[in-house]
Chains A and B, each alone.
Chain A
Amino acid sequence: MTSDLVFILLALLTIVPAVWVVFSPNIVHAGFALLFTLFGVAGLYAYMGADFIAVTQTMVYVGGILVLVLFTVMMTRVPLGKRANYGLDRFVPAGVLSLAVFGLLYKTITSVDWGAGHTEALPTVAEIGTNFMTNYIFPFEYISLVLLATMIGAAILIREQKDMEDEPENGDTEVQS
């Protein structure tokens, strides 16, 4: 009974702010609503007994990605206002497609027999660590390369581009002369 109540509260904590993320005309409000959604998802992981994933979700999403998103929102100085961030003309096709996708997914979820049984929730951290170092050693190393490439790529993307701008202008003048 208490467990059901916890589940309902976590589900509300996930879905209600997600609605606000999607429909809020103010992008800063959407970012802060995303905070609650991500916490709710972390709570759902914890409810399912996935303790490692729950902690990872809190650290990476809430502590990393969300801060990044909010900093970008502040640095890009989006003009506030309802029309600025929103395309009201897109509500109809977006709503139709989203509802269709949700209907299809819900029909699938309710009609298929998943063969779900009640398994026992065990501590996962040790097993995940062992698997990272044995069965998943190649993806584990490969994803570190991906992160390195991402870091370099992001740094190159946002660097000052003064030097690059001079060269095409010189090229243009030479062609004109």
Chain B
Amino acid sequence: MNVGLPHFLTISAMLFALGLFAVMSRRNAIGILMGVELMLNAANINFVAFSRYVQHGIDGQIMAAFVIVLAAAEAAVALAIVLAMFRNFGTVHADTVQSLKR
């Protein structure tokens, strides 16, 4: 077996499908956030794999670094929202919170 681009793309597709499943099936908002993280990681694997095997350059890895930073920012804001939600509604289940205001 010669490990190449398709192997990494397949792993990335698996991670993306799993993340999509988590986003759609989880009721817990933190679980949904974990699914989003899986999908972002899948996209990052694609960036690095294409940067390594197709394009001769470093641009894909720089884009992956930016994605990691944005994922950190997204996680911080999303978890702050979850905490505010828990304080105001007493639950973290995304389907029971239906109003913007208490």
Contact = CB atoms under 8 A, between A and B. Distances in A.
Interface of A: 3-4, 7, 11, 14-15, 18-19, 21-22, 27, 30-31, 34, 37-38, 41, 44-45, 47-50, 52-53, 56-57, 60-61, 64-65, 68-69, 72-73, 75-76, 78, 84-87, 90-91, 93-95, 97-99, 101-102, 105-106, 109-110, 114-119, 121, 124, 127-128, 131-132, 136, 139, 143, 146-147, 150-151, 153-155, 157-158
Q: Which of B35, B62, B87 has the most CB of A within 10 A?
A: B62
Contact of B44 (A3, A41, A114, A121): A41
A90 B25 contact: yes
B61 A22 contact: no
B88 to A, nearest CB: 9
A139 B69 CA distance: 12
Contacts of A106: 10, 13
Contacts of A19: 18
A41 B72 CA distance: 16
Given A69-B33, A116-B5, A85 B11 contact: no
Interface string B41-59: 1001100111111101011
A153 B10 CA distance: 37
18 contacts: A4-B3, A11-B7, A21-B18, A22-B21, A48-B52, A65-B72, A76-B83, A76-B92, A84-B27, A87-B26, A97-B24, A98-B18, A102-B14, A109-B10, A117-B53, A128-B58, A128-B61, A158-B83
Contact of A14 (B3, B15, B52, B75): B15
B15 to A, nearest CB: 6
Interface residues of B, number: 70
B34 interface: yes
B73 A147 contact: yes
Contact of A11 (B11, B44, B51): B11
Contacts of B62: 128, 131-132, 136
Contacts of A37: 15, 38, 41
